[in-house]
Amino acid sequence: MNHPEKEKNAGGMTYRTLPGIETTLITQYLDHHDRKTISAVSEKNKKYYMASADKTIARLELAKIRVENSDISSDECQVVMGRISHGLDCMECIKNRVKNVASNEELHKITPYKLWHAVKLIPSAAEGYAVTASIENVIFRAKIPESNPDLEKIRTHLDNAKTIFLHLLNLDENSDFASAENSRLKAYKDIEIVQNLV
Closest CA to 171 of 60, 87, 110: 87
Per-residue pLDDT averaged across 25-40, rounded?
64
Helix intervals (H) in 13-73: 14-17, 28-31, 39-68
Binning pLDDT at 50, 70 and 90, where does residue 32 land? low
Cα–Cα dist 14/8, whole Å: 7
pLDDT on residue 4: 41
Output the pLDDT for position 61: 98
Q: Tell me the whole-structure pTM to 2 decimals.
A: 0.80
Instruction: Please report, for residues 89, 93, 173, the alpha-carbon distance to residue 110 in angstroms, rounded to integers and kept in the order given.
Output: 17, 11, 14
Helix (H) or strand (E) holding 33: strand 32-33
Q: What is the pLDDT of residues 108-166, one digit of tens each?
A: 787 888 999 999 999 999 999 999 999 998 888 777 777 778 888 999 999 999 999 99
Chain center to CA of 176: 13
Give the whole-number percent of the chain exceeding pLDDT 90: 57
Residue 10 corresponds to which amino acid?
A
Q: Does 7 score more than 60 pLDDT?
A: no
